Chains A and B, each alone.
Chain A
């Protein structure tokens, strides 16, 4: 493989991660607030189809993305209503919605299946894009890929550095405590579920207008991506930068599957296609190893300073879900 091919490949990994990032970060936001939106898979299919249809009908890419976000927000609203207001199981509601949206996407998308449509073009950043290596890697993408870089940073900044962001995390950790500190828990949960849904909903049109442009119904190859997004959210430990690493890592594994295939003719192609999944699970295990008591115990034999440093790294690595994830909040009456 030439250097150029490698560079283009990696650059492709970055851009094909864009929809995954939107999905993962959107989901991270609503899970931080305590609501998990398991409708993700169907929602992305529906917003991919809807976004493509909208931009086909209007000729406007912007409206296509807007439609995708609106579909995401609408599905999230259903999840929010069922789980926050009706206090139903988020798992049950999300799962049913995932199925429903998927079928709806295939059904409603039938008339536009396979039609040629608008597609986002690359916008290399003048100047920066001619830097050797990095130019190709980072600055020859379309707007959505740039936005995905920005989104990682913005969501990190929001959750770690702003007061409403810290409160957002509080909603999912201990809603009663958040309530006592002045938060209107259920209203904020609505807000963040819908916001998370809108962001994740953008993943659809990012596929259908950019990464895998067009709508090809069941052979679009999008079915399943929502479930992967949900698992990367967990892998990401509900933290934006780690989630980003997870998303890139997954795209990288997928790309390597494609690249390695011709080099390893003896390995059945399915193996390489599925390999990213067990690899993700393995990484998840490794990352969370600091939780195990035996690790902490064996650390105690090390000298004080070393022990502290290692403990710090392990604490930083390990991820626990928001403590009140999936639990409805009820005021004491």
Chain B
């Protein structure tokens, strides 16, 4: 089936999110969609999947113009979309979420659905349990669930809006292999991503959007430098690695343990010093997020000592506010659910993030503050834009721009998930500035390159087990990938004991 998007236009207020975009995709093609944050990629995909109505333009399958007015229409045509931010049902059991919206009779065949779910999940090496609540999964796991569901539905056209942010290297390879097989059988895939390596590994064609317009496209083999130039209109250089000499102690953990209903983390020993950047790697749901929250006082550790600064008195039993007063800040992964307040504008977010001078809000000052932050963090939005109207990458920038001025320790989950290359460099530039000023950073990432490139030391989690700190120079993508998959731990432990 040949798919044509013809002259698709869409504007939000004065902003042209899609400006007469035309794209022809042959059958069995894996079409990469590239572009900087806010370029209009998600908008185009949402129009294609019936979630948004275009102002003008048409969608044509094999020469036939189609009417796609709602996701229901799209589903009937076999178009399935993984949205950038999870659109699922947190209180549902995984298996129920899996079933909702599937075709067939009124009473679903649960046993078959469960069997299919487990087979698929195993095939990809996902460790999703069918009976837990969706809300207890990490964002990455929720994405995995959604990918499985779409594959299970047997979509003819599969749209994946940044699907690789929550899965490990090994899982990614399996996913790509599966997508290629499906494409060979005639499925068309739209693959939105910021990672050129992924596009290179998977896609047969790539199209680049910039400021709502299609600025170019390319077939395999790709010229990465040319793609980057198309995306940003200029060359983008990767920052070189620079380390800061570690300063005083910021966080010391002795035989720390943290428990949740799902998992138990034991015997973590760790010392973080000012200026250090520590990357935390591991498959989604291996306990990294729980551990990070314990470091910020959001979860009560179940044992050991968590001490801040040079102090010897453990912070165990203290609340997040006590941690905050000591300069600890935590940035969550589910930005729209936990980090930002949907319905509130940028100006309102910024105003709340600074210490108020009085109980009343100075409108003028608020707008000035917003303009300053918007400029400083290069956010595409206006002071009065509600946060949920920002593109994914701009939401992430907003979240980072809310960091307090003074912090001794920043705990951050997936700092650049969903950010384009330029913004990633930019954000890390901002974070490094903090380090120079003496802030230590602990971050979780599922992007191994990011971990290796930016961290001084690495901590790997596997099913609640934690490695000692490993110098990032002694690692490479393959070695780190193995540790994440539970391979090579014996050698590490032997080394450690020796």
Check A307/B261 contact, CB under 8 A, given A163-B104, A163-B108, A173-B92.
yes
Query: CB of A21 within 8 A of chain B?
Result: no
Q: Does B178 contact A (CB under 8 A)?
A: no
Contact across chains for A166 and B96 when beta carbons are under 8 A apart? yes
Contact-size category for B: 20 to 34
Question: Known: A169-B89, A323-B90. Contact between A300 and B302, CB under 8 A?
Answer: yes
Are A182 and B261 also in contact (CB < 8 A) when A164-B106, A173-B91 are? no
Between A and B, 18 residue pairs with Cβ closer than 8 Å are: A162-B106, A162-B107, A163-B100, A163-B106, A164-B106, A166-B108, A167-B100, A170-B100, A178-B101, A180-B71, A182-B75, A182-B101, A297-B302, A300-B259, A304-B264, A315-B133, A332-B52, A333-B53
Rounded to whole Å, the gap between the CB of A49 and the closest CB of chain B is 37
In the bound assembly, the distance between CA atoms of A296 and B53 in angstroms comes to: 46
B261–chain A nearest beta-carbon distance, Å: 5
A165 to chain B, nearest CB (A): 9
User: A161-B107, A173-B91, A297-B302 given. 19 additional CB < 8 A pairs?
Assistant: A162-B106, A162-B107, A162-B108, A163-B106, A164-B106, A167-B101, A169-B89, A169-B92, A174-B87, A180-B49, A180-B81, A182-B70, A182-B71, A183-B101, A184-B70, A184-B72, A308-B261, A323-B90, A323-B91
Residues of B within 8 A of A304 (CB): 264
Contact assessment for A320 and B71 in the assembled complex, using a CB-CB cutoff below 8 Å? no
A300 to B263 alpha-carbon distance, docked (Å):
11
Query: Is the Cβ of A166 less than 8 Å from the Cβ of B100?
Result: yes
Q: B389: shortest Cβ distance to chain A, in Å?
A: 9
A296 to B51, CA, bound (A): 40
Q: Contact: B107 with A174, CB < 8 Å?
A: no
CB distance from A10 to the nearest CB of B (A): 34
B71-113 interface with A by 8 A CB criterion = 71-72, 75-76, 81, 83, 87-92, 96, 99-102, 104-108
Contact at A297–B52, with CB atoms within 8 Å? no
The answer to whether A181 touches B71, judged by C-beta atoms less than 8 angstroms apart, is yes
Q: How far is the CB of A308 from chain B (nearest CB, A)?
A: 7
A173 lies within 8 A of B108 (CB): no
Nearest CB on A from B242, distance (A): 41
Residues in chain B near residue A178, CB distance under 8 A: 100-101
Q: Which 10 pairs of residues, A with B, have the shortest CB-CB distance?
A: A181-B101, A182-B72, A300-B259, A177-B87, A182-B75, A311-B261, A300-B302, A173-B89, A180-B71, A162-B106
Kindly state whether residue A179 has any CB partner on chain B within 8 Å: yes
Please give the distance in Å from B399's CB to the nearest CB on chain A: 21
A interface, over-half SS? helix
Instruction: Tell me if A176 counts as interface (CB < 8 A to partner B).
Output: yes
Residues of chain B with a CB closer than 8 A to A174's CB: 87-90
Closest Cβ of chain B to A249, distance in Å, is 24
Question: In the complex, which residues 170-210 of chain A have their Cβ closer than 8 Å to any Cβ of chain B?
Answer: 170, 173-174, 176-184
Using a CB-CB cutoff of 8 Å, which residues 132-187 of chain A contact chain B?
Answer: 161-164, 166-167, 169-170, 173-174, 176-184
Q: Would A180 and B83 count as touching, CB distance under 8 A?
A: yes
- Contacting residues, chain A, for B71 (C-beta < 8 A): 179-182
- Closest beta carbon of chain B to A167's beta carbon, Å: 6
Q: Does B162 contact A (CB under 8 A)?
A: no
* In-complex Cβ contact of B102 among A163, A323, A332 (8 A): A163
CB nearest to A321 among chain B residues: B91
| Distance between Cα atoms of A167 and B108 in the complex (Å) | 12
Q: Which residues of B contact A167 (CB under 8 A)?
A: 100-101
Instruction: Tell me the B residues contacting A by CB distance below 8 Å.
Output: 46, 49, 51-53, 70-72, 75-76, 81, 83, 87-92, 96, 99-102, 104-108, 133, 259, 261, 264, 300, 302
CA distance A174 to B107 in the complex (A): 22
The answer on a CB contact under 8 Å between B99 and A163 is yes
* Inter-chain contacts of B107 with A (CB < 8 A): 161-163
Query: Shortest beta-carbon distance, A231 to chain B, in Å?
Result: 21
By beta carbon, the residue of chain A nearest B10 is: A333
Which A positions have Cβ atoms within 8 angstroms of B? 161-164, 166-167, 169-170, 173-174, 176-184, 293, 296-297, 300-301, 304, 307-308, 311, 315, 320, 323, 332-333
Nearest-neighbor residue (CB-CB) of A182 within chain B: B72
User: Closest CB of chain B to A270's CB: distance in Å?
Assistant: 40
From residue B256, how far is it (CB to closest CB) to chain A in Å? 14
A332 neighbours in B (Cβ, 8 Å) = 46, 51-52
CB distance from A321 to the nearest CB of B (A): 10
In the bound complex, CA of A170 to CA of B101 (Å) = 10
Taken together as a complex, chains A and B put the C-alpha atoms of A183 and B52 apart, in Å, by 15
Residue of B nearest to A296 (CB): B261
In the assembled complex, the CB of B149 is this many whole angstroms from the nearest CB of chain A, namely 9
B447 to chain A, nearest CB (A): 26
Across-interface contacts of B105 in A (CB, < 8 A): 163
B197 to chain A, nearest CB (A): 29
The answer to whether B51 and A180 have CB atoms under 8 Å apart is: yes
Q: B99: which A residues are within 8 A, CB to CB?
A: 163, 166
Most B CB contacts (10 A, CB to CB) among A180, A315, A323 go to: A180
Which B residues touch A166, using CB under 8 A? Answer: 92, 96, 99-100, 108
Which chain B residues lie closer than 8 Å to A315 at the CB level?
133
**Which chain B positions have C-beta within 8 A of A183?**
72, 101
- Closest chain-B Cβ to A327's Cβ sits at a distance in Å of 10
CB closest residue in chain A, given B86: A177
User: B135 to nearest A CB, angstroms?
Assistant: 10
In the bound complex, residues from chain A placing their C-beta under 8 Å from that of B51 are 179-180, 332
The interface residues of chain A lying within 8 Å CB-to-CB of B91 are 173, 320, 323
Which partner residue on chain A sits nearest B110 by CB separation? A161
Q: B74 CB to closest chain A CB, in angstroms?
A: 8
Q: Which residues of B contact A181 (CB under 8 A)?
A: 71, 75, 100-101
Structural contact, B261 and A177, CB atoms closer than 8 A: no
In whole angstroms, what is the CA distance A304 to B53 when docked? Answer: 51
Q: Which of A163, A177, A301 contacts B88 (CB 8 A)?
A: A177
Q: Output the least CB separation between A69 and chain B (Å).
A: 23
Q: Find the B residue at minimum CB distance from A167.
A: B100
Question: Measured between C-beta atoms, what is the minimum distance from B68 to chain A in Å?
Answer: 12
Question: In the complex, what residues of B have CB within 8 A of residue A184's CB?
Answer: 70, 72
Q: How far is the CA of A307 from the CA of B106 in the complex (A)?
A: 37
CA distance A183 to B49 in the complex (A): 14
Q: How far is the CB of B353 from chain A (nearest CB, A)?
A: 25
A320: chain B residues within 8 A (beta carbon): 91
Q: Could you say which residues of chain A place their CB within 8 Å of the CB of B89?
A: 169-170, 173-174, 177
C-alpha spacing A76/B332, complex, angstroms = 41
Bound-complex Cα distance A67 to B34 (A): 60
Instruction: Give, as a whole number of angstroms, the nearest-CB distance from A273 to chain B.
Output: 37
> Roughly how many angstroms separate A293 CA and B297 CA in the complex, as a whole number?
13
Residues of A within 8 A of B83 (CB): 180
Q: Tell me the smallest distance from the CB of B269 to a CB of chain A, in Å.
A: 20
Chain A residues whose CB sits within 8 angstroms of the CB of B52 once the complex forms: 332-333
Scoring B71, B100, B108 by chain A CB atoms within 10 A of each residue's CB, the highest score goes to B100
User: Smallest distance from the beta carbon of B466 to chain A beta carbons, Å?
Assistant: 18
**Within the assembled complex, what's the spacing in Å between the Cα atoms of A161 and B92?**
13
Q: How far is A300 from B302 in the complex, measured between Cα atoms in Å?
A: 7
Q: How far, in angstroms, from A304 to B264 measured CA to CA in the complex?
A: 9
Q: Enumerate chain A residues within 8 angstroms of B53, measured Cβ to Cβ.
A: 333
> CA of A333 to CA of B47 in the docked complex: distance in angstroms?
11
Q: How far is the CA of A69 from the CA of B349 in the complex (A)?
A: 48
Q: How far is the CA of A297 from the CA of B260 in the complex (A)?
A: 9
